[in-house]
Structure 1
Amino acid sequence: MNRAPEPGPGARRHPRGNLKVALGAAFATFYLPLGIQMPYLPLWLQSRGLDPQEIGIAIAVPLVTRLFATPVLGFVSDHVGRPRATLTALAAMTVLTMGLLALAHDPLVVFLVLGLIALSWHPSFALLDSYAARQARAGRADYGRSRQWGSGAFLVANVAGGLVITATGAGSVVLWMVLGQLSYLAVSLTLPELDAPPAPAPHERERGPVPRALVLGVVAVALVQASHALLYAFASVHWRAEGWSLTTIGLLWATGVAAEIVLFRFGTRLMGRIGPYRLIVLGGVAALARFGVMMFDPPLALLFPLQLLHGFTFGATYLGMVEMVARGVAAHRSGAGQSLAAWTVNIFMSAATVASGPLWVAVGAKAFAVSAVLGVLGALVALLARRRAGGDQPQRAGTGG
């Protein structure tokens, strides 16, 4: 499954230092509107007069749309063969549709436009990962160190967005999202186009079965990522009921994102030592520890150290997946490979999120035992995948360059 790095003529057209800056800026500006959308879009929907049931539908529409848009756009990107141009075109479409959302008032129009936004925005997550991983395989960038700026921008948007939206009103949320997406569109224009990958060998042109180790590895990541569903859905509600202030809750979430940033910063070095499969195993074991303790409703003094484990439960498994796909999929199928991996994770996460409500109603915080089990299952499947792959072959980490 190991593949040689792509040849690097593209590096001559774009100095390595400039590419690293541009790629970091691309991740930062891409995640900036997401950092506004996730916590504050419900407030905008409420300001438009949507009731709680309609807000729930509005939040669900993009989640459903991305399930078919992500793999389709992955295949389209590979077929076009110009990944940077595809990213820019999708960014322009997202700016346009977000602008339409700012003008929408009727709930049905809001639902429709949110679906249109998801058609272009959500597939771009995997396609930007694919682009960055290919640059890293060619030795021009470090995926983890580029991706850390996305997490940092997300955190800044969470914190600064609250202050800005308090001053400008809930009706300005979508306008700030549009501005963030515009900045990403501008940065995407500074990225160099990737050289066309070498012509695939005849056996690669034939669409043979996907390596079983890669399939198992992606399932392992999906299991560990799905262990977060209860946390995302009910942790803030539970902590608020425990009497913790909103500031404290915000700091708990910020601690998790900060740990994620550190993991992305130094994860490539760790990847080079243990390989992607064992990195995923590490994430699953961390999920067992994190959620196994959370099921006992720990005091605040323990919650902050537990949130630090987010760097492994999310960051390590995410980084391991991008690297695993980069090693296991030919360059001419990179967009489809990363998109299908993201699609699998979304399927597992959606199912876990649907199940989280009844679980929480039934047993409360003890439901985190299920999250711990998902982490263990993910670690075991990752070990099986590593055995199928013949171990983590010693080589330069593709996402690190």
Structure 2
Amino acid sequence: MSPADFRRYALFYLGYYGALGAYTPYIGRWVAANGHGGYVVGAMLALWYGGRIVAPPTWARLSGRSATPGHWLVAGCALALLGFAAFAGFDRGVMLFVVMAWFGVFFNAVMPQFEAMTLSALGPRNHDYGRIRMWGSVGFLVVAGTYGWLLDRLGNDAFVWLTLPWLALTVAAAWLHRDDRPAPHASDDGTANGQLWRRPGVRHLLVTALLMQLGFGPFYVFYTLHLQAQGHGGLAVGVLWAIGVLCEIGMFWLAPRLVQRFGAHRLMTACLVSTIARWAIVALFGPSFAWMAIAQTGHAFSFAAFHAGCMRRMAELFPQRRDMSAAQGLLYGFSGGIGGVAGAGVAAVAWQMGGGTWAFLTGSAIACIALAAHVLPVRAARPSPALEG
């Protein structure tokens, strides 16, 4: 990949995750500020993750059949921008959920397509994925680390207007890929039509990724509200988000070497252990900024290294470019979609029953189940205590 191509791909990740850096930490705050309770916040995030179930596989089929898949990327980003802009006029009632569904479908549709484009462009150098994806973390860091302070001063109504420029940047970055050549068409052996999951190792990866996403439900839905309930102000909330993303950036930079040295399986095992401890700390030591900062360093493993490990496994399981787009749609739909919807629902129930303590203890328990699902099948198949990468 040439330096110019590296910049094109990095710019898209920067814009996309900059927008996500506004949405993920602060959509719950915006919804709550408009007078809605925990169930509405959970329902909003469930709709968001629901978009990952429907949109990625459908979008992968449509864009995969097109001679100009880059045009589909531009269209999806533009429709996501229009959907989010509608939040300025609809902040309650049925239309709030309609707008959420619209935005969730199109925003979630484009990333699996772009991930496939990135891995295809990298080819055999797929271990360098983290150094491109790192720029998405930079965008997330800039936004998540400052918007809590900005919203404290500008008011929660500014949330929509502060987010729109990042979505506009995503459209502009997608435009640079409008003429990218399509990957070779999928074969007619059925792999692109629902059979990818039959490959050895695929279902194991999907279940692990789903359970990890399920355990992340309290974090994505209620972390900011939990910190506010524990007495942390907007600046502290932003700093804590920033700590997590800074660690994420560092890990994405190191991930290629870690994946090559330890293998994806061992790395993902370490990530799951770290996540169990992370959610337990958030649940039990919420009033302490120091403990929250320590917990946020765990984002390096529970998100960045885990994601890099998943991408490595995807490249190993689907070495042919023609299958990559459909495979990415399957991963996003199954783990991010089903896992995200279930995680938002479980988090909402736990939050209503016992606040952040119950919610994050639930997340820690789910991470324990994910660890068992990830490790036990390998041990059952191989009596040796050594784990394969």
TM range (shorter): 0.7 to 0.9
CA distance in 1 between partners of 2:355 and 2:148 (Å): 33
Deviation per CA, 1:344-386: give whole Å up to 9, x if none: 2231232233223443525862664443332233233333566
Q: 1:300 to 1:35 in 2, by over 3 A?
A: closer
Secondary structure, counterpart of 1:146 in structure 2: helix
Q: Is the 8 A contact 1:20 1:140 kept in 2?
A: no
Cα deviation, residue 222, structure 1: 1.9
Partners of 1:145 and 1:126 in 2: CA distance: 18
Q: Is residue 64–residue 185 contact of structure 2 (8 Å, CA) maintained in 1?
A: no
Cα 1:217–1:254 change in 2 (3 A) is: same
CA-CA distance at 1:62 after TM superposition: 3.2
User: Which stretch of structure 1 is more off in the superposition, 37-46 or 207-216?
Assistant: 37-46
1:372 to 358, 364, 367: 364
1:279-336 Cα shifts (integer Å, max 9, x gaps): 2112111112323444543744333222211111111222222221222123222222
1:185–1:385 distance in 2 versus 1, CA, 3 Å: farther
Question: In structure 2, the residue corresponding to 1:52 is in which secondary structure?
Answer: coil
Residue 149 of structure 1 corresponds to which residue in structure 2?
A: 135
Q: 1:348 corresponds to which residue? A: 339
Q: Take 2:192 and 2:329, find their aligned partners in 1: how far apart are those partners?
A: 19
Contact 2:15–2:167 under 8 Å retained in 1: yes
C-alpha change, 1:354 and 1:190, in structure 2 (3 Å) is same
Q: Secondary structure at the match of 2:201?
A: helix
Q: Which of 103, 114, 117 is the matching residue for 1:131?
A: 117
Q: Which residue of 2 aligns with 1:396?
A: none
Match of 1:8 in 2: none
Which residue, 348, 367, 381 being the options, matches 2:373? 381
Shift of 1:92: 2.4
User: Quick one: which of 116, 129, 139 aligns to 2:102?
Assistant: 116
In the alignment, does 2:298 pair up with 1:314? no
Q: Which amino acid counterpart does residue 342 of structure 2 have in structure 1? A: A
> Is 1:336 the equivalent of 2:326?
yes
1:294 and 1:274, CA in 2 relative to 1: closer, same or farther beyond 3 A? Answer: same
**1:260 paired residue among 248, 262, 276:** 248
Deviation at 1:246, TM superposition (A): 3.7
CA distance in 1, matches of 2:190, 2:264: 25
- Distance in 1 between the 2:172 and 2:302 partners? 33
Change (3 A) 1:186 1:382: same
CA distance in 1, matches of 2:60, 2:25: 28
Larger-gyration structure (1/2):
1
One-letter amino acid of the counterpart of residue 183, structure 2: A
**Structure 2 equivalent of residue 193 of structure 1:** 180
One-letter identity of the residue aligned with 2:344: T
Q: Please, which runs of 5 or more residues in structure 2 have no aligned partner?
A: none
Cα displacement (A) at 1:72: 1.6
Paired amino acid for 2:305: A
Of 247, 264, 272, which residue of structure 2 is paired with 1:284?
Answer: 272
Superposition pairs for residues 233-252 of structure 1, below 5 Å? 233-252=221-240
Separation in 1, partners of 2:317, 2:380: 13
Q: Secondary structure at the match of 1:197?
A: coil
| Kept in 2: contact 1:133–1:143 (CA 8 A) | yes
Deviation at residue 392 of structure 1 after TM alignment: 5.0
Q: Which runs of 5+ in 1 are unaligned?
A: 1-10, 394-401
- For 1:88, the equivalent position in structure 2 comes to 74
Residue equivalent to 2:350:
359
TM superposition shift of 1:28: 0.4
Using the size of structure 1 for normalisation, the TM-score is 0.79
